[in-house]
Structure 1
């Protein structure tokens, strides 16, 4: 096989994206979706593998800023649109694209790469660890009641056109980004993603709707959702399909949840992806009736260990030497001394004895504070070489709120 890996040209996009659709089952996306991702594609960060005149592999990256513990927004490559033609699997094409991509990310000065995985087992061998999880749930609103905090009744709700309300929603979102690790600061154009609503993807549901939460004339929250009507012999059994929800304070958030759980002619609120520590779980009277489940959401890789560990903050002082294994990006291999306290963070190479031994994959999993090093050690994936180092470091790496990815890419 003779193939060529090269940067994507704008004129090649349709064939390149068509190959990606083929790799994901051959269903052509709607013109609205295709148009958005054509607009968002960063051609200089997109690569294709070509066998003659046919595209047989795709990979791209978006230039994101990722919220990390401590509130900093760190440049990160959002790895995306990765696919290999069914006829060309197991020939090293994916590995060659991952190799080129991580080399480019490093050359561009980004210390982190993130992705969402169609198949989670694929990316561990390239050094990605699952760093954030998401909760799905189905709230039975016939059986579940909400207890809301003081001040909820002071919040007023207003139905709004999703497109016309986009600016107000984005302003709320922007104020929320640094409060939770894993959230993405919206780059220009990404605000359109929440508005793409092709009829072909609704599955019998309504067009997307939006409700704004306001206090004293200020928008303090929003929810975007759709309703799928349904009826049985006993009556209405409609489903509220939540797209996204953000609020600036507990009362505004509770007002939105109360609204969603009390819409006429519905009996269920279906949640697709929310933080694992989301507030709704403490508002409901019976969480069992909500059937929450978790799955992986965000995978993260440290491309430059020293710079990445210096970019975040730590919730307790720590002074630890990490022995890092990284076969795919060998520039990260070796010992790194991480020192952090209230005055700052340093992470530099050292010849001192190691306190913990782990691979870059475990560092990626623990990086945003939602996966503990102690749990990874219990699975044999982190080794303690100095007594007390594991607990000390695990506590320091933690986060007071769970990391969460607000939308896919």
Structure 2
């Protein structure tokens, strides 16, 4: 079969997106969900793979700004909407699209590429490592309490329609982005995705509501949630489904969590996609009844090793030579000297002997500080060439807070 890879024409978006729906099970998404995805699609960063008059593959990316250790924002290609039709597998077509996508990111001066993986085994061969994880919890409300921090009673809570307060919530979100690596600075087109709540996908739950946490009129937190009413033998057994829970300080977080745990007729609170060091881990009185689960979340690979490592700060002073192997983006391969600390860093080519050897996937996993270089060394993915270099580098690469991707893309 002869296939042609070319840029997506806006007029072909419906056919292109329908081919993607078939790749992910065939169900047609609600019209409002399709409209939200159409709004955020960057047509000039999207590819369609054609076989004659039929689309058999897709690839797109977002022009993201990703928070990194130290609070800076680094340009990142957010790889998304990727598929190859089952009739066209094992022909190197995904590799072809990824090749063009990463080349485009490099030409655009984007040091990073990131994605969320429907099938994790696929993307390691393209140099993506797991850079963040996500925590999920199901709080057993009748048998779990909270240890409330000082100031909780000073927080005022009120309910609002999510659409009516989205601008205030997005302003708070933007202030929080530099505080934690892995967060994405949302673009003006993204509020539609934030508010997306199709009736067809609620599974019987209510429409979402927005809980605002304020102190002296200032917004210090918000939560978007729905409730699912259930009864067991005439006993209420409802579930609170929390989509977002963002707070500027511990008291605001605790006040909102307490509110969600005290809703009438609800016996559990489900939170998904949270940071692995989420405050709830330390607020709940019984972790065993919170059913904590951890899963992979954001996959990351440096597109430009020098710019990527020079774009973040480090927890301690570091001067280390990294011998990087990158088969898919060979311009990254070779020795790099990283010098820097909390105030910033420089990463340049060098001919000096390596202190550590690793491949680009391990470097991507460690980049945001959520995965230790020492842990990767324990798995044989990082090799220490100079005694003491691993401990020093692992300490420098660490982050005081766990990296976190708040939402899929």
Normalising TM by the smaller chain, what interval?
Answer: over 0.9
- Deviation readout 1:165-186 (Å, 9 max, x if unpaired): 1111111111110000000011
Equivalent residue number for residue 133 of structure 2:
133
Residue 239 of structure 2 aligns to a residue whose secondary structure is: strand
Equivalent residue number for residue 118 of structure 1:
118
8 Å contact from structure 2 (residues 67, 181) kept in 1 = yes
Residue 164 of structure 1 aligns to a residue whose secondary structure is: helix
Equivalent residue number for residue 109 of structure 2:
109
Q: How does 1:241-260 map to 2 (within 5 A)?
A: 241-260=241-260
Offset, 1:218: 1.4
- Deviation readout 1:329-357 (Å, 9 max, x if unpaired): 00001000101135541111111100100
8 Å contact from structure 2 (residues 115, 299) kept in 1 = yes
Equivalent residue number for residue 267 of structure 1:
267
8 Å contact from structure 2 (residues 311, 344) kept in 1 = no
8 Å contact from structure 2 (residues 180, 404) kept in 1 = yes
Residue 352 of structure 2 aligns to a residue whose secondary structure is: coil
Mind listing any 5+ residue stretches in structure 1 that lack a counterpart?
A: none
The yes-or-no answer on 1:2 pairing with 2:2 is yes
Cα distance in 1 for residues equivalent to 2:46 and 2:73: 23
Equivalent residue number for residue 197 of structure 1:
197
- Deviation readout 1:366-402 (Å, 9 max, x if unpaired): 0000000000000000000000000100000000000
Equivalent residue number for residue 218 of structure 1:
218
After superposing the two structures, state which structure 1 stretch, 321-330 or 81-90, moved more.
Answer: 81-90
Question: How much is the aligned-residue C-alpha RMSD, in angstroms?
Answer: 0.8
CA 1:93–1:284 in structure 2 vs 1: closer, same or farther (change >3 Å)?
Answer: same
Cα distance in 2 for residues equivalent to 1:137 and 1:247: 18
Q: How does 1:1-400 map to 2 (within 5 A)?
A: 1-342=1-342, 344-400=344-400
Cα distance in 2 for residues equivalent to 1:346 and 1:179: 22
Cα distance in 2 for residues equivalent to 1:232 and 1:191: 37
Cα distance in 2 for residues equivalent to 1:234 and 1:277: 37
- Deviation readout 1:97-153 (Å, 9 max, x if unpaired): 000100000011100010000011110000000000000111000110011011100
Mind listing any 5+ residue stretches in structure 2 that lack a counterpart?
A: none
Q: State the number of aligned residues.
A: 409
Residue 15 of structure 1 aligns to a residue whose secondary structure is: helix
Residue 78 of structure 1 aligns to a residue whose secondary structure is: strand
CA 1:312–1:344 in structure 2 vs 1: closer, same or farther (change >3 Å)?
Answer: closer
8 Å contact from structure 2 (residues 313, 343) kept in 1 = no
Cα distance in 2 for residues equivalent to 1:352 and 1:247: 46
Residue 377 of structure 1 aligns to a residue whose secondary structure is: helix
Cα distance in 2 for residues equivalent to 1:238 and 1:214: 27
Residue 63 of structure 1 aligns to a residue whose secondary structure is: strand
CA 1:276–1:342 in structure 2 vs 1: closer, same or farther (change >3 Å)?
Answer: closer
8 Å contact from structure 2 (residues 315, 342) kept in 1 = no
Residue 335 of structure 2 aligns to a residue whose secondary structure is: strand
Cα distance in 2 for residues equivalent to 1:189 and 1:346: 34
Offset, 1:87: 1.1
- Deviation readout 1:185-228 (Å, 9 max, x if unpaired): 11111122121111110000000111100111111110000000
Which 4+ residue blocks in structure 1 deviate beyond 6 angstroms? none
8 Å contact from structure 2 (residues 3, 49) kept in 1 = yes
- Deviation readout 1:263-299 (Å, 9 max, x if unpaired): 1000000111100000011110101101101000000
Residue 164 of structure 2 aligns to a residue whose secondary structure is: coil
Cα distance in 1 for residues equivalent to 2:352 and 2:342: 23
Cα distance in 2 for residues equivalent to 1:232 and 1:294: 29
